[in-house]
Structure 1
Amino acid sequence: MIDPFLFTQLYGLNPLNKEMLDELLKTLQIIAQNADSILIIAGKGKAFCAGGDIKMMLENTDREQFDAIMDTISEITHQLYVMPKIVLAAIHGSAVGLGLSLALTSDYLIANESAKLGMLFIGIGLAPDGGGHYLLENRIGTQQAKQFIWSGSTVSAEKAKDMQLVDVVTKLDPIKAAEAVVQNLQQAPLTAMIKTKLLYHKKHAPALQISMQEEKENQLALRQTRDHQEGVQAFIEKRKPTFTGY
């Protein structure tokens, strides 16, 4: 009997703050050790995940706090990427920023036709984290990944499917669609599938770790820029930012 786990309490329209990130990491560490072969990650309420907490960015200016949060994010991505299970992401509503980075660790990315996906970091003068650069490139290629990140906009589920950003688009509740995939997987030699996954993912995990370390250094530098300060202020004031390139 396969019992998929749903991270409903950790996503949705609530941005991922330090407490949520710490809780998510602990949950993943527990799940990685259990006997289940399939994991579903999903959102609660109107969205999959609204991304990181901008208020947290403003409050946590201390280098030690910054390092701790970024290290937690990197460990969450690593845990998901090398999870010894088949991982399905069931997306509805918005999956943006860090939330999209985490979804991209999945083996099957299933999106409701009303879903919207985007990186959006550029809107506050930042570059993606959570392994977003590596995971996007792995799915859609370097050129398309750059354009997607730089656009600062969301794409529809159908467009995401055309880009090979998602695997399945459904009119159904994405959790129901994911459960249908689970039913098919239950008839497959899951142990062999997981061995194949780990052969690829463990091989590429060191490159992902290097990319996340570089993302951390990028974030530290970018948080000192005027463009980042302007982007955050504009977000708070609900206006279009005026960037200068500095």
Structure 2
Amino acid sequence: MEFFTVEREGPIAYLTLARGEKYNALHVDMLGEFAEVVEELKQDDQSSIVILSGAGDGFCAGGDVSMMQDVSSPEVYDQVMDKIEAIVTGFYTMSKIVIAALHGPVVGLGLSIALSADYLIAEANAKLSMNFIGIGLAPDGGGHFFLEQRLGTHRAKQFAWQGEQLRAKEAFDFQLIDLVYEGNIHEEAKLLAEKWSRKPLQSMIATKSIYHQYGIDQLRQYLANERQSQWKLKQTADHREGVKAFLEKRSPQFNGK
């Protein structure tokens, strides 16, 4: 694998985004590899816990700027959305407990993917944002579904609309994440997983399965709506202005069109 590493210690599998020099920003090839490794982990009978984390100075800065240009054709767009949907539904339906260990930037699609995990823990320096609106888009990767699950519809709308950045403690108070640590998040995730490995994991996984078998159809409906909506938004003047402003490192001038 070029963009990920997988290590196993007993019942624990460590899946790490390994493009740390770019804050693990996701591009087309990386998403393809991500979907493949998630499928491999689903089929892995040796592990019962998966720790998802990022190398370098952040978990994931969202979609790479190159992907904004690569998905200009409907064919490539659908391929990319297929991969994104495989990743988040893979974690959501995986017969394992998935822990997302967050630090540094956790942005956009990176946050949607993190929210597909069962348990989110964060280093105190983590900064979480669903800032699709900054480039004239709406959340994808199941972001609407996962935000609604954790925050309720009204607060989820506000969070998506404002595009605000929350530090870990604020995200915890907001009920967006489950635990905050002052120490190194990779070490803390390992200790938590080792503690859970001494619990009746099959009981925990059964509870996940009971809840998520009813949620998966709703998640897929959200994903289908996000796919359709996002393509329409990509054709707007506000999206073009948002991307242009991002590349030019300036504030966008939106006009609502």
TM bin, normalised by shorter chain, reads over 0.9
**One of 78, 96, 99 as aligned partner of 1:85:** 96
CA RMSD of aligned residues (A): 1.1
1:2 aligns with 2:11: yes
Tell me the equivalent position of 2:199: 188
* Distance (whole Å) between structure 1 residues aligned to residue 12 and residue 119 of structure 2: 17
SS of alignment partner, residue 31 of structure 1? helix
After TM superposition, give the deviation of residue 177 of structure 1 in Å. 1.2
Tell me the equivalent position of 2:78: 67
* Distance (whole Å) between structure 2 residues aligned to residue 90 and residue 10 of structure 1: 16
Q: TM-score by structure 1 length?
A: 0.97
* Distance (whole Å) between structure 2 residues aligned to residue 173 and residue 140 of structure 1: 27
CA shift digits 1:21-70 (9 cap, x unpaired): 00011001111111210000001100000101232222331111111111
* Distance (whole Å) between structure 1 residues aligned to residue 203 and residue 146 of structure 2: 23
1:177 aligns with 2:188: yes
Sequence identity percentage: 45
SS of alignment partner, residue 32 of structure 1? helix
* Distance (whole Å) between structure 2 residues aligned to residue 67 and residue 8 of structure 1: 23
Q: Which runs of 5+ in 1 are unaligned?
A: none
* Distance (whole Å) between structure 1 residues aligned to residue 185 and residue 212 of structure 2: 25
1:122 aligns with 2:133: yes
Moved runs in structure 1, 4+ residues, more than 3 A?
none
Tell me the equivalent position of 1:108: 119
Tell me the equivalent position of 1:44: 55
How many correspondences in the alignment? 246
After TM superposition, the structure 1 stretch with the greater mean CA deviation from structure 2, 1-10 or 178-187, is 1-10
After TM superposition, give the deviation of residue 10 of structure 1 in Å. 5.3
CA shift digits 1:112-133 (9 cap, x unpaired): 0110000110000000000000
1:148 aligns with 2:140: no
SS of alignment partner, residue 207 of structure 2? helix
SS of alignment partner, residue 18 of structure 2? helix
* Distance (whole Å) between structure 2 residues aligned to residue 91 and residue 163 of structure 1: 16
**One of 225, 236, 239 as aligned partner of 2:247:** 236
8 Å CA contact 1:7–1:43 kept in 2: the answer is yes
**One of 5, 11, 32 as aligned partner of 2:42:** 32
* Distance (whole Å) between structure 1 residues aligned to residue 70 and residue 200 of structure 2: 48
Letter in 1 for 2:65: I
Letter in 2 for 1:154: Q
SS of alignment partner, residue 15 of structure 2? coil
CA shift digits 1:127-164 (9 cap, x unpaired): 00000000011011111111111111210100100011
1:99 aligns with 2:110: yes
After TM superposition, give the deviation of residue 2 of structure 1 in Å. 1.8
After TM superposition, give the deviation of residue 4 of structure 1 in Å. 2.1
* Distance (whole Å) between structure 1 residues aligned to residue 58 and residue 133 of structure 2: 21
Q: Which runs of 5+ in 2 are unaligned?
A: 1-9
After TM superposition, the structure 1 stretch with the greater mean CA deviation from structure 2, 10-19 or 85-94, is 10-19
* Distance (whole Å) between structure 2 residues aligned to residue 70 and residue 8 of structure 1: 19
8 Å CA contact 1:10–1:24 kept in 2: the answer is no
Q: TM-score by structure 2 length?
A: 0.93
1:18 aligns with 2:41: no
After TM superposition, give the deviation of residue 95 of structure 1 in Å. 0.4
